[in-house]
Amino acid sequence: MARFIASRLLQAIPVVFLASVLVFLLIKMIPGDPAWVILGENARTVEYEALREKLGLNQPLYIQYGKWLIHVLQGDLGVSQINRFPVGTMLVLKGQATLELALGAMFVSTVLAFPIGIFSAIKRGSLIDRLLTLVTSLFYAIPTFWLAILLVLFVSLRLKWLPPSGRVAPTEDFGQFLRLLILPAITLGVPTSAVLARFIKMSLLEVLQQDYIRTARSKGLQERMVLIRHALRNALIPVVTVFGLQLGNFLGGAVVTESIYLWPGLGSMALHGILTRDYPVVQGVVLFVVVVFVVMNLLVDLTYGFLDPRVRYD
Amino acid sequence: MADAISQVAVDLKPRRQTLERRLGLEHSMFWSTAFRTLRAPGGWSGLLIVMIMVLMSIAAPLVSPYDPLEIHKTEQFLAPQSPYLFGTDEFGRDLLSRTIWAGRISLLAGAFAVTFAMAIGVPLGLVAGFFGRTTDAVLMRVMDTLLAFPGILLAMAIVAVIGPGSLNAMIAVAIVSIPTFARVARSSMLTQKNMDYVMAARALGAGNGRIIFRGILPNAIPVVLVQISVSVAFAILVEAALSFLGLGTQPPDPSWGNLLQTSRKFLYQAWWYGVFPGAFLTTLIVGLNLFSEALRDALDPTRRNLF
């Protein structure tokens, strides 16, 4: 077990390292010299040279990278060029909002996926199964930005049930916080529910063919018990993987949903950074998201082993 | 007893020839796969949807009732009605025509990104899998790194560097799609490289290049085909998302993504603005998904009937 964790960690480290190089280089590749950008076009060459010296821009790239990395490892991701706010602090604040949204979306997708997956597995081949398959294909294909527009049009503007966009802190007004969370959580959760439902169905179908299920049935257990106590438990193992990977996705990939609902999370932060050419912010968010993503993958791998002792770690 | 005997007799009768056999398709991997894909309900209906969309985009100048950029000053925000079946936008432009023309960008993005990603990813994966050791470790760690970025975020970051626009968005989507092709090609290489035919080719004196590209590549085609059909849908979605975020196709040129983006400003006045482009995009994605699902089932009989 310890060896497995160690080897997975060793695999994750180069990925994070390379990602940091990539993020660093990405910003360096942007055309235009930052010194000229800061000084403006009419600056004198002396000033320009002095600023380049001060910013460390005339040092070789690997030294610049090294210095940047040392700062990053100390938790110093620089400050936003727009509002001079420390990027690290911004990440904590925005990360919180993104986490709320991610958990909301996981909740929605679980609530949708379990009934769909279980029903279509036990009623396999029936009309209801086909209908549910159709629903999941639609859920899977629908682009989040279209779904969001439809939801806002119908639920907010037509029925006036929920506010169309924005976020208030849960500590401030919990009721309003939930009302504002519902639509973004549905938008983000629906496509994932399709993935989850398919995995639940597939894995349940596989488990239901096993001998121990026949044993359970033949000893006279009710079908409900067979399903809940015996089948579902084992069927859930692969589902956990999907669940974890999707959560990792949500934490970084909710750019579109966040921007539509004006949800001030990491995705909005990244988009805003890109649109305003605020590069320390872009660097910070992208690096943070990659680290979170890699860590989530690692956790998923480890949980898998805990849940299913048959999985060997070597 | 008589029943049992007649039953045996029935079993012994040559099985009715399937259509597949009668057409003589079962010996060709390609044709039998194509046949089985298209026989599945998802396969033919998916292909039909995609074909209609492709034809519609190619024939956009013929089938769209108006010029997508033509402004009708007095006819802004008309609800769907004759002659504007999908209504008009803030400049009185015909939304049906704009939606049809927008399909061109999406389909082009899908085709371009996937061709580019395949042309780079597949050779990389084959080489990594074939040579193993350091080559494999280095190449695949780079691919893992690219995969560690959420697709849309990486595409956004690339666009941030190379600048927004249709072509740049397609390039970004292409780069994002490279690692999946590399992975698929590599795993196919790993299963193939120890097979007897490879050893035979080597014994005959074939060089590495010949073995990889003439021997193994053709065997990797089926899995790559499945990956293509999945990646096209992904590429179209990401391009639309980039345009939606203002980083892809720029107005006044229509793309499904930027039509949806603009529609957000006018949700109160014009419900129809975003509904139709989104419906077209979703339909295309459904079609592509149905087709790729059927193709995968046709190539891997053990997966069949699970969904």
Chain B positions in Cβ-Cβ contact with residue A289 (cut-off 8 Å): 149-150, 153
Reported as half-sphere exposure (CB side, CA atoms, 13 A), residue A28 has a value of 16
Question: Which of A75-89, A213-227, B203-217, B227-241 ranks highest by mean pLDDT?
Answer: B227-241
Rounded to a whole number of angstroms, the distance from the CA of B39 to the nearest CA of chain A is 17
**At residue B88, what are phi and psi to the nearest 5 degrees?**
-125, 165
* Residue recorded with tokens 């399903």: A227
Name the closest residue on chain A to residue B291, using Cα atoms: A137
The total of other beta-carbon atoms located within 10 Å of residue A168's CB is 16
Q: State residue A151's pLDDT score.
A: 93
Q: E strands within B200-292?
A: none
Q: Which residues of B touch A23 (CB under 8 A)?
A: 157
ipTM surpasses 0.90: no
Statement: residue B151 has pLDDT above 70? yes
Low-confidence ranges of chain A (pLDDT < 70): 1, 32-37, 41, 252-253, 308-314
Q: What is the mean pLDDT of residues B226-233?
A: 90
Q: Which residues of A touch B286 (CB under 8 A)?
A: 137-138, 141
pTM over 0.90: no
- Give pLDDT tens digits for A153-179: 888 888 888 888 888 888 888 888 888
Which of B141, B160, B307 is the closest to A15 by Cβ?
Answer: B141
Q: How far is B141 from chain A (nearest CA, A)?
A: 6
* Contact yes or no for A18 and B237 at CB 8 A: no
pLDDT on residue B307: 42
Burial of B75: CB neighbours in 10 Å, binned 0-12, 13-18, 19+: middle
Task: With a cut of 60, say whether residue B306 has pLDDT above it.
Answer: no
Chain A with chain B: Cβ pairs closer than 8 A: 132
- What's the mean pLDDT in B86-109? 87
CA separation, residue A275 to residues A117, A219, B213 (Å): 40, 64, 43
Q: Which residue of A has its CA nearest to B151?
A: A253
pLDDT digits (tens, 9 = 90+) for A36-86: 667 776 777 787 788 777 777 778 888 888 888 888 888 888 888 778 889
With pLDDT > 70 as the criterion, what percentage of chain B qualifies? 88
Confidence (pLDDT) at B10: 52
Do B161 and A255 make contact, defined as CB atoms within 8 angstroms? no
What's chain A's length in residues? 314
Percent of chain B with pLDDT over 90: 27
Q: Is the per-residue pLDDT at B5 higher than 60?
A: no
pLDDT at residue A79 in the model: 84
| A 161-180 residues inside an 8 A Cβ radius of B | 164
- With bands split at pLDDT 50, 70 and 90, how would you rate the model's confidence at B26? low
> Model confidence at B9, in pLDDT bands (50, 70, 90)?
low
Residues B175-201 have a mean pLDDT of 88
- Terminal CA-CA length for chain B: 41
Cα(A297)–Cα(A293) distance, integer angstroms: 6
Give the distance between the most distant pair of CA atoms in chain B: 87
Calpha distance B125→B182 (Å, rounded): 4
